[in-house]
Each structure stands twice: as structure tokens, then as C-alpha cells.
Amino acid sequence: MSTAYVQSNQPDGVPPLELTGERTLPDVPEENYWYRRHLVVYEWIAARTLGKRVVDMACGEGYGSEVLARGAASVVGVDANPEAHEHARLRYVRQNLRFERDLVETFREECDAVVFLQTIEHVQNPGEILEHFKSMLAPGGVAYVSTPNLLTLAPPGAEKSENPWHVKEYRAHEFRELCEAHFAQVELWGLFHARKLRAHALALKLGWDRAHRALGVTRPFYDRFTPAIAASDFALKAGDLDRALDFLAVCRT
């Protein structure tokens, strides 16, 4: 096991998790881009679930459940993986937060919001899962579901990226159609680069890839740049979805 891809600086008694590619992790510098890309969506949802009962399905390491629990009335983080469950249970301790080891298809508890981020692309039965989430929601409840954009994740023209954990990756209209088949009202948001990530994307268009290789500074630059990425270097917007990094569907019954 390479220490470069295992969580560092964990609290006493909390077993660190290894980065496998199936889920993102905090406290792994090389993974910081993806962690912050997920974290900003959790923070956006947390601002909209204050005082609510929330179920965070496929919660993984548990960091997102903890973010939600800062303002929610209660949060349940659900994950079937035994290592992730044990880590989350030990690391994130709040009176209004608990973790359950269960499948997203079988865990059931009435709530005001279901959160299911960057996971629907992993499943064989997305429609059944969305119906299950809908059945858990109290009147007025909301399901928050995110997934990567096929058009910006996969190579041009491909129907899927090389991620071995993904079963189906979606274009914006496909993801909207999936959600609208199960919920009466669906708002679709896109996640985009902002601040220094937007500047970096512009630099790439101007030839930065060639320049850093020619100068021999690729590793030193990204060893500093990647850990410095913050959640504020991403932004959720309602338009131009074909260019989005990820989609977030806000689904109401």
C-alpha cells in the first residue's frame, strides 16, 4: 500500500482509507481536486437543508454527512462498504449524526432530503433507486442527485470514460429525462470551474501543457497547485449544461 494514496493525519483510533478510485477522500493531497469538486456540492446542499432530516446515501468516507450535519436537524450517512462505514463512524461524531452500514436499495427512513452524490453512474438500476428515494421523502421533501457529465469526463465521441466503477454516464438531457421519469419537478444545475481553476483552464488553452513540460516544472507546479484547490474554485450554475463538469438534479415529488 503506497502512503502517497492513503489518508494522512487521521485522528487517533481512526483507520485511514486507501484511495481506490471508487470514492473520493479528504486528506490525500493528490486527490484534492476531486475532493473539493465533491465538497462544494455538499456545502451547497447543506445551506438548503438547515433544520431538515437528511439521509446521505452512499456517503463513503463520511465527510459530506458531517458537512450536512452542521446545520441539519439530523443526518444518517449510509454506506455498504465496511471499511468506509467504520472510518466514518469513528471520525465524524456529532449528536445529530449517525452512520448505518446498508445498501442504498434497502435502507429506509422517512426524511426531508435524500442526498445521492456521484453514485448513480455506478448502479445498474437507477430508476428503481430513484423510486426508493421518492418513497422515503416526507411531503415537501427533496432528493439531491449528482453525476458527472459524459461530455466533459469521457474522450470526445466516447459513450463512457475509462472509470471501471461507472456503469452509465449521462449527457444533460439523459440525466434530466431519468430524473423527470420519477419526480414531478426537476431543476438541473451544472458544476463549473471558477477562480484559479478557471484561470488554469484558460492557461491550458494558451499552451500551458507544452510550456510546463518544456520547462521541466510539471511535478513541482502541480505538487503545489493541486493541494491549494478550494471548494470556492468551483461554482454551481443553471446554464450551459453541456460544458458542465457535473450535474446536480434537485428533485421534488
Short-list 137, 122, 127, 119, CA closest to 49: 137
**pTM summary value:** 0.93
Using the structure block, give the residue that is written with the C-alpha cell 488554469.
Answer: 200
Within 13 Å and on the Cβ side, how many CA atoms surround 46? 16
**Spatial distance between the Cα atoms of 8 and 149, rounded to a whole number of angstroms:** 30
Q: What is the pLDDT of residue 49?
A: 98
Domains of the chain (ranges plus CATH)? 3-193+236-252 (3.40.50.150)
Cell 455506478 locates to: 122
Query: What is the rounded distance in angstroms from the CA atom of residue 30 to the CA atom of residue 214?
Result: 23
pLDDT of amino acid 4: 60
Report how far apart, in Å, the C-alpha atoms of 86 and of each of 15, 51, 92, 151, 174 are: 8, 26, 10, 35, 35
pLDDT at position 149: 97
Residue 49 CB-density burial (10 A; 0-12 exposed, 13-18 middle, 19+ buried) = buried
Output the pLDDT for position 70.
98
3-state helix, strand, coil split of the chain in percent (to 5) is 40, 25, 40
Task: For the chain, 253 residues long, give each residue's pLDDT as a single digit of tens.
Answer: 344 689 999 999 999 999 988 889 999 999 999 999 999 999 999 999 999 999 999 999 999 999 999 999 999 999 999 999 999 999 999 999 999 999 999 999 999 999 999 999 999 999 999 999 999 999 999 999 999 999 999 999 899 999 999 999 999 999 999 999 999 999 999 999 999 998 988 887 777 677 677 777 677 778 888 999 999 999 999 989 999 999 999 999 9
Q: What is the per-residue pLDDT across 55-106, written as a single tens digit (0 to 9) for each?
A: 999 999 999 999 999 999 999 999 999 999 999 999 999 999 999 999 999 9
Q: How far from chain centre, in Å, is Cα 217? A: 31
What pLDDT score was predicted for residue 3? 45
The string over 61-74, giving b where at least 16 C-beta atoms fall within 10 Å of a residue's C-beta and e elsewhere, is bbbbbbbbbebbeb
- Residue 27 C-alpha cell reads as 486528506
Report the Cα 229 to chain-centroid distance in Å: 16
Q: Which DSSP state fits 124? A: S
